[in-house]
Amino acid sequence: MTKDGVIVDTSVLIDFLKGTEPCAGMVSRLLEKNHVVTTGLIIAELLQGMKNLKEEKFIAELFLSLTVLEVGTV
């Protein structure tokens, strides 16, 4: 968890997109509260797994609503 929200892992987002519980419910609740943040790597992993235009549109809309954290080196 960050001060701005929760970084939801790719596998959890995949379960959310498939509607698999308990992940779908937890992510939905976090999204309602604007508590989900993401990274470029998570976006890239989900984009790699898209199967059709419908998935692409849904994922694009999802990521437009999220804060994207910049991941760098220390």
* pLDDT tens, residue by residue, 37-65: 999 999 999 989 888 998 889 888 999 98
pTM for this one?
0.82
* Per-residue confidence band for 71, with pLDDT thresholds at 50, 70 and 90: confident
Q: What pLDDT shows up at residue 1?
A: 55
Closest by alpha carbon to 42, among 8, 67, 72?
Answer: 8
User: Using an 8 Å Cβ cutoff, are 72 and 60 in contact?
Assistant: no
* Per-residue confidence band for 28, with pLDDT thresholds at 50, 70 and 90: very high
Q: What pLDDT shows up at residue 32?
A: 94
Contacts with 19 (C-beta within 8 Å, 6 or more apart), sequence order:
none
Domain locations in the chain as residue ranges? 6-68
